[in-house]
Amino acid sequence: MAEHVSEVEAADTGIARRLRVVTRPVRTLVNAPHLLVVAVLVIWVACSLVYALLEDKGPIEGLWWGIVTGSTVGYGDFYPESTAGRAVGAVLIVAMLVLVPIAIGHVIANLVFDKESLAVAHVLEDVHERIDRLEHLTLASLVAQHGEEWVQQRLAEHEEADASTTDVAEEMLAMFARKNDTDPPGGSR
């Protein structure tokens, strides 16, 4: 029974690995608005021109067909008659149904202005500046009291302690990253 479970897990891991080949570029595209817009335009123009070539239409008619088909308006004034032309139309429709709403979401998200977040960002910037000033003044005071060598020794000790804390944090992040890479699509079992 345990052997069967490990075979299933191995198959599951293999499938997840193969799916990542597709999902990683899609995630990259979806999370890069400028690249997404370029991809939408390239797909639209490419499909339009391929349609024009396959159906013996001019480039302007092909671009018009691409706009009408990609937007799913479908006036019916131009439509593919060949199987290859229909395949190009299907690719265009599916690509636009998936990618255009995501691009619109990015545009809308950038139009929303959150005053509270901006205020928090300004406060955090001010806090960081004050901490930097306090750190500078504290170091100058410690150098004046104990000398440069003593301060450098204490700083080295604190950096060593911080490095060990960072290592634990980085290990935890790596552990979660590995878990996310091995989880099947749709979350954990």
For the chain, what is the radius of gyration of the CA atoms?
Answer: 28
**Structural domain includes residue 2:** no
| Residue 73 structure tokens | 């308006």
Please check whether residues 101 and 119 belong to one and the same domain: no
Residue 78 placed within a domain:
yes
In a domain, 11, yes or no: no
pLDDT of residue 188: 45
- Average pLDDT along the chain, 189 residues, taken 10 residues at a time: 68 78 83 90 96 95 94 87 94 93 87 79 91 92 92 88 70 72 50
Residues 67 and 99 in one domain: yes
- pLDDT given for residue 4 in this prediction: 61
pLDDT of the residue at 108: 87
- Give me the pLDDT at residue 141, please: 92
- Same domain (yes/no): 37, 107: yes
- Residue 166 inside a domain? The answer is yes
110, 111, 171, 186 from 156: Cα distances, Å: 43, 46, 22, 46
DSSP the chain: -HHHHHHHHHHHHHHHHHHHHHHHHHHHHHT-HHHHHHHHHHHHHHHHHHHHHHTT--HHHHHHHHHHHHTT---SSS---SHHHHHHHHHHHHHHHHHHHHHHHHHHHHH---HHHHHHHHHHHHHHHHHHHHHHHHHHHHHHHH-HHHHHHHHHHHHHHHHHHHHHHHHHHHHHHHHHHHSPTTS--
Residue located via tokens 């545009």: 107
- How many structural domains are present in the chain? 2
Is there a single domain that holds both residue 124 and residue 171? yes
Is 161 inside any structural domain?
A: yes
Q: Say what the pLDDT of residue 3 is.
A: 66
Question: In the listed set 83, 111, 139, which residue is the last one of a domain according to the structure?
Answer: 111
What is the sign, positive or negative, of the torsion defined by CA atoms of 123, 127, 130, 136?
negative
Note whether residue 169 is domain-resident.
yes
Domain of 82, CATH number, reads 1.10.287.70
Whether 104 and 170 map to the same domain: the answer is no
Among the three residues 92, 111, 130, which one is the final residue of a domain in this structure? Answer: 111
Domain extent, residue 106, equals 32-111
pTM as predicted: 0.52
Per-residue model confidence (pLDDT) at position 30:
84
Pick from 84, 111, 138: which residue ends a domain?
111
pLDDT attached to residue 116: 80
